[in-house]
Structure 1
Amino acid sequence: MRLIARLAAPCLTGMVLAALAPLPAKAQQCGGGFQQFVAALADEAVARGHDRQAVNGFLAGVRKDQSVLNADRRQGVFQMPFVDFARRLISANRLNRGQELSRRHDAVFDRIEREYGIDRGVLLAFWAFETDYGAVQGDFNTRDALVTLAHDCRRPHLFRPQIFAAMTLYERGDFSPQRTKGAWAGEIGMVQMLPEDILEHGTDGDGDGHVDLKGSPQDALLSGASMLAGLGWRAHEPWLQEVTLPEGMDWAETGLRTKKPARDWQAMGVRPRHGEIAGDLPASILVPQGRGGPAFLAYPNFRVYFEWNQSFVYVLTAAYFANRLEGAPVFDAGQPEPGLSGEEMKALQRKLAARGHDVGGIDGILGAGTREAVQEVQQELGLPADAWPTRALLDRL
């Protein structure tokens, strides 16, 4: 499930030195004939220091996979509002299974909490959402997926480095060009990590001398923890907390752009539904479906989720599920106003862009850019600026 949103961010630099190597003068970056592209890719790999025989072995039989491109263009699930998305992904079975696996792998979770300061609920939530605790890891040939997406000219700069990282894993004996399978976007294993991430953060948790993210929960969980720590996770700090908001809330102060010490929010009447507010930490108020829906206090660690996946609805759901796995109650869904359909959202995005607002693309998805633009235009029109787009707002524009 890490999919496109994670890949919209700059890739991690697992092969820093290799990335600095000069490219062949006529390296074909994307497009054109597929076989010519592969030949240029092989030349670049050799120029980066890979052995020619290993490169030929890695690329032998590579093919363009149309099903990968089809999956890349099919992202409708992220158009769902938070309440619906969360109810779809969080089931009693997933919650019970997570608690069972927490007990089964208690030693590795204790190690993660000791070494990285990351609560077990965080890793369990990723494990659940990415692969249903390892049960659904993807059936796409990883090598073919990466080469296909690098050949496609939508985001070649994101996928091309992953090919060379996968080559390094192959040379180490930890990747099979023919047999390694995973998600359509090239992620591998129980917590879905890209080859560069594996190079940088792969951890041999079970002590067998290899990093096996597909078959070893110990390897997968410790590697995921290392990656989160590398992305900036702050040890032993919270990430998200459901709250109730006071009457007379200034909705323009909600959203990730506004941060205050948590104690200041508390002084304004913000109250936790579970646990205690972390008064010393900066925090933002999130109302994913506007003033009528649920509300959350987002701490600094919440922003690390966006380094893993840039979909707001996915990130919020994963962070909330981590809370549930740690004992938090079911959120209060409230009574939010109905949102927009995908086509209505696109129409709204076009109208916002025409007014000079940066919505981050006309895709029908209520991402962070569109939310900020909605909040800005709500303020311009004198409406409650809760960043939740409704049909009334669309009609007003």
Structure 2
Amino acid sequence: MLPRFLTHALPRLTLAVLLPLCASCASPVAVAAPAPADLPTCLGNLADDAARTGLSGAAWRQWTKGIEADMSVLELLDAQPEFKTPIWDYLAVLVDEQRVADGQAMLQQWAAVLAPIAKAQGVDAATVVAVWGVESDYGRSFGKRPLLNSLATLSCFGRRQAYFRGELFSLVRLIDRGDLRSEGLVGSWAGAFGHTQFMPSTYLRLAVDGDGDGRRDLVGSVPDALASTANFLDKAGWVSGQPWGVEVRVPDGLDSALVGRRAKRPQADWAARGVKLVDGRPLSAAGLTGELGLVAPAGLKGPAFLVTRNFDAIYGYNAAESYALAISHLSDRLRGGSPWQTAWPTDDTGLSRLERRALQTALAARGHPIGEVDGLLGTATRRAIQAEQKRLGWPEDGRAGQRLLKVLQTQPQPSSPG
């Protein structure tokens, strides 16, 4: 999970989405470049601060010796995404048929591990596996950056040094106590890592030993990662047996000021205002308890949901309603549920990962140098999309949507790109 100060201004973009997107981020404001050679001196000066967290001087020197600066993380810290992500694009790639099928397979494969977790912590298996699927694609994508290098660099250079120093101290404590091995330890540029992408301080507080080996290893142990994710949600206020929420139909003219997960009201109040389940049944048929908030990520003309305390617990994992909706919807699909019934208010919806690969294939066939056909829309793919948009006379926003895919799959290929 990325630190909250990095997510408050945009929907949660997980490793499968954020890393290729940030390859196309705008350049940061020019500042005097710090010197990588200053890193050892900075780390040496942090020894006293590290000691106040319980780390001995010997441990601090041992685990920070030889760390190399990765100055590229400063560009990611300061940059803002160039391409804003509509909610229908965000969810199309995170909750596609491939992720649903893979997640259902994981539910079966790890059923013997998930059952006692659900019994002990009250969090159902589908929700836990949904977090796993969104965060690392079921362990396929941990991130590629050496974690100690990233956090040490962010602790000594750029903004938010105090925050990242706390994360670095937590990471070194985890290594020193034997929960983690430093060799090959990688993650996101901001420090999230493991199967369910915990930040080190969260790991230190909430990780649990799910396989009984005496270590809390969210990198090498799937049981530890699943149990720790359930523990996080439990501590965030999860109510056992309660759904996250339901899709609803709202009446025309409903006051938009009522929208927001925090603006909770009793179910009877929503019913009196004309809100019904999306299939037209009364709200009482859903079996929801407690006060409910109304979430409408694309406005009241798009899909709308009444959400419970459990939605808030998922939101606590990463502070974005779009992220909580992705986890919630994927968990429903893993249980055999259907896609949402209400259409998004657009005539050009997003692409699944399979469709993204099809788009890249079509672009490559037109001679665009996009690199590997992997479904990750990095800089080369965005530039190719912009070239095709220019050729078609469309706005050159670099967005990959259904409309462009259909055009490229049906139009004759030109002899050369552009």
Instruction: Describe the superposition over 1:142-197 as per-residue Cα deviations: whole angstroms up to 9, x where unpaired.
Output: 11111122223422232211112122212212233342112211122100112222
Aligned residues: 317
Q: Distance in 2 between matches of 1:255 and 1:179?
A: 42
Q: Please give the alpha-carbon distance, in whole angstroms, between the structure 2 residues aligned to 1:165 and 1:77.
A: 32
Q: 1:270 aligns with which of 271, 275, 280?
A: 275
Return the match for 1:291 from 278, 300, 311. Answer: 300
**Is structure 2 residue 133 aligned with structure 1 residue 134?**
no
Q: 1:330 aligns with which of 329, 333, 339?
A: 339
Mapped pair 1:310 → 2:319 = yes
1:98 matches 2:107: no
Work out the percentage of aligned pairs sharing the same amino acid. 33
Deviation at 1:72, TM superposition (A): 3.1
- Counterpart secondary structure, 1:291: coil
Picking from 288, 291, 301, the partner of 2:310 is 301
C-alpha displacement of 1:58: 0.7
Secondary structure of the structure 2 residue equivalent to 1:129: helix
Q: CA deviation at 1:6?
A: 7.0
What does 1:231-242 align with in structure 2 at a 5 Å threshold?
231-242=236-247
Q: Look up the SS of the partner of 1:76 in the other structure.
A: coil
How far apart, in 2, do the equivalents of 1:249 and 1:217 lie? Answer: 45
* Distance change (3 Å), C-alpha of 1:48 and 1:124: closer
Task: State the alpha-carbon separation in 2 of the partners of residues 305 and 151 from structure 1.
Answer: 32
Corresponding residue for residue 125 of structure 2: 120
1:193 aligns with 2:223: no
Aligned 8 A contact 1:260 1:283 in 2: yes
Kindly state the Cα deviation for residue 64 of structure 1 after the two structures are TM-superposed: 1.6
Matched, 1:223 2:219: no
Rounded Cα–Cα distance in structure 2 between residues aligned with 1:75 and 1:86: 20
> Root-mean-square deviation (CA), in Å?
2.6
Residue equivalent to 2:359:
none
**2:2 paired residue number:** 3
CA-to-aligned-CA distance 1:8-56 (integer Å, 9 cap, x gap): 68xxxxxxxxxxxxxxxxxxxxx89433321111232234442222111
Distance 2:80 2:129 in 1: 24
Q: How many Å separate the matches in 2 of 1:180 and 1:283?
A: 41
Map of 1:23 onto structure 2: none
Please report how far the alpha carbon of residue 74 of structure 1 lies from its aligned counterpart in structure 2 after TM superposition: 5.0
Q: Which stretches in structure 1 are left out of the alignment for 5+ residues?
A: 10-30, 340-397
Correspondence for 1:282: 291
Distance 1:45 1:113, change over 3 A: same
Query: Which whole-Å CA distance do the structure 2 matches of 1:77 and 1:242 have between them?
Result: 31
Instruction: State the Cα deviation string for residues 202-229 of structure 1 (Å, max 9, x = none).
Output: 2221222222212221111001111122
- Counterparts of 1:102 and 1:78 in 2: how far apart (Å)? 34
Cα separation, 1, equivalents of 2:237 and 2:262: 19
When residues 78 and 175 of structure 1 are mapped into structure 2, their CA distance, relative to the original with a 3 A threshold, is farther
Aligned-pair CA distance for 1:57: 0.7
Residue pair 1:7, 1:158 contacting (<8 A) in 2 also: no
Amino acid at match of 1:295: A
Check the 8 A contact 1:131/1:137 in 2, yes or no. Answer: yes
Q: Comparing 170-179 with 196-205, which one deviates more in the overlay?
A: 170-179
Q: Which residue matches 2:254?
A: 249
Q: Give the 3-state SS of the residue equivalent to 1:207 in structure 2.
A: coil
Q: Give, in whole Å, the separation in 2 of the partners of 1:296 and 1:63.
A: 47
Q: Within 1, Cα distance between the matches of 2:292 and 2:103?
A: 28
Kindly indicate whether the alpha-carbon contact (under 8 Å) linking 1:262 and 1:278 is maintained by their aligned counterparts in 2. Answer: no
| 1:103-151 C-alpha deviation (Å, 9 max, x unpaired) | 1111222112211111222111111111100011111111111112222
Normalising by structure 1, we get a TM-score of 0.73
- For structure 2, the 5+ residue unaligned runs are 9-33, 349-418
Equivalent residue of 1:292, what SS?
coil
Residue 299 and residue 36 in structure 1: after superposition, are their counterparts in 2 closer, same or farther (change >3 A)?
A: same
Change beyond 3 A, Cα 1:244–1:53? same
Are the counterparts in 1 of residues 245 and 288 from structure 2 also a CA contact under 8 Å? no
| 3-state SS in 2 of match to 1:110 | helix
Closer, same or farther: CA 247–214 of 1 in aligned 2, 3 Å: same
The aligned counterpart of 2:329 is 320
**How far, CA to CA, are the matches of 1:167 and 1:263 in structure 2?**
51
Whether the 8 Å CA contact 1:289–1:336 is kept in 2: the answer is yes
- Shift in alpha-carbon separation, 1:49–1:93, aligned structure 2, 3 A: closer
Q: Are residues 1:42 and 2:47 paired?
A: yes
What residue identity is the alignment partner of 1:143?
L
Q: Using the TM superposition, name which of 93-102 and 222-231 deviates more.
A: 222-231
Mapped contact 1:6–1:308 kept (Cα < 8 A): no
Superposition TM-score, scaled by structure 2 size: 0.69
Which one-letter code corresponds to 2:336 in the other structure?
A: G
